[in-house]
Amino acid sequence: MTSTPTTKRFIAGAVCPACSAMDTIRMYEVDGVPNRECVSCGYADTLDERGNSVPREVPTRVTKVKQPAPATSQTVQFFPNPRLKKK
């Protein structure tokens, strides 16, 4: 069994996206997935395969499918109200 020990190394010049502190970001890998954590505020996130930041606060992967707004134009019913036609 070869398990690589988790090495946490600081990223020089990295700015925490949460508290904007510099040089507080440590990076380490878990199962080949790069993780980041801020030692200042405790912010932690994961980087996915595309390098996008995935905040750790998300407990489960909930795929929210945003339903696009219905493209069908609503038929505006226009009732000419004769009572509004005041002279």
In the region spanning residues 47 to 66, those forming contacts with Zn ion, defined by CB under 5 A, are none
Q: By CB under 5 A, is residue 38 in contact with Zn ion?
A: yes
Cα distances (angstroms) measured from residue 37 to each of 61, 73, 74? 20, 47, 49
Q: Return the number of the residue (11 or 19) whose C-beta is nearest Zn ion.
A: 19
Q: By CB under 5 A, is residue 25 in contact with Zn ion?
A: no
In the set 14, 40, 47, 54, which binds Zn ion (CB under 5 A)? 40
Instruction: Give the residue among 26, 21, 23, 24 at the shortest CA–CA distance from 6.
Output: 26
Q: Return the number of the residue (35 or 38) whose C-beta is nearest Zn ion.
A: 38
Q: By CB under 5 A, is residue 11 in contact with Zn ion?
A: no
Q: What are phi and psi of 84, to 5 degrees?
A: -80, -15
In the set 8, 41, 48, 53, which binds Zn ion (CB under 5 A)? 41
